[in-house]
Amino acid sequence: MSQIERYNRGGIGRWYWDYRDHAVMMLMDHGPVLDIGCGEMITTRKIPGAIGMDLDQGDVRGSAYNIPFPDESFRTVLLLEVIEHMERPWEALKEIRRVLWPGGKLIVLFPNDRTFKIAWALTGMWGEIRRNRGHLIQWEPWAAYTALYLSRFKITHQRSIPFRYWPISLHHIIVGEKC
């Protein structure tokens, strides 16, 4: 089942997706937005004027390693549930920095796979537990902070959702500002 089909089914999955998106959108600045790894553009469509970029779908076909836009094109870049799929996240962070305005924001959101597996077990979603999501790295908040900091971003915000305590949360959000 596709992301959009799951989302359109409604229920707690849609509620949480909307909650997650709201938490991200509260951190954005006005101005051009690039949603890297937009998938079926569920989040992108909620942001007026945002551009969705993905390897094989979205408004623009492209890779986070070679973003097809000029330097300083965006006020905000979203990397939502994407960094855990990257083989070379350092290269992607460097390229994202290139397309951000001075003072622009990179908003990274990544899942807590362990907590998701527990949630799926508690709700009887056994197929979800076994499904390969292609995650190459299980990010932790400290590792994301370090990656952004070493990529010359100033960390301006971070929090876990829906709870503030990472070990029981489903996602972590970290915001880096281009210095």
Q: What is the DSSP letter of 166?
A: G
165: left (phi over 0), alpha (psi -120 to 50) or beta: beta
Rounded-to-integer distance, Cα 39 and Cα 167, Å: 27
Considering its fold, how many domains does the chain have in total?
1
Domain that holds residue 47: 3-178
| Digit-coded pLDDT (tens) for 66-113 | 999 999 999 999 999 999 999 999 999 999 999 999 999 999 999 999
N-terminal to C-terminal alpha carbon distance within the chain: 41
| Digit-coded pLDDT (tens) for 112-133 | 999 988 988 888 888 888 778 8
CATH number at residue 76: 3.40.50.150
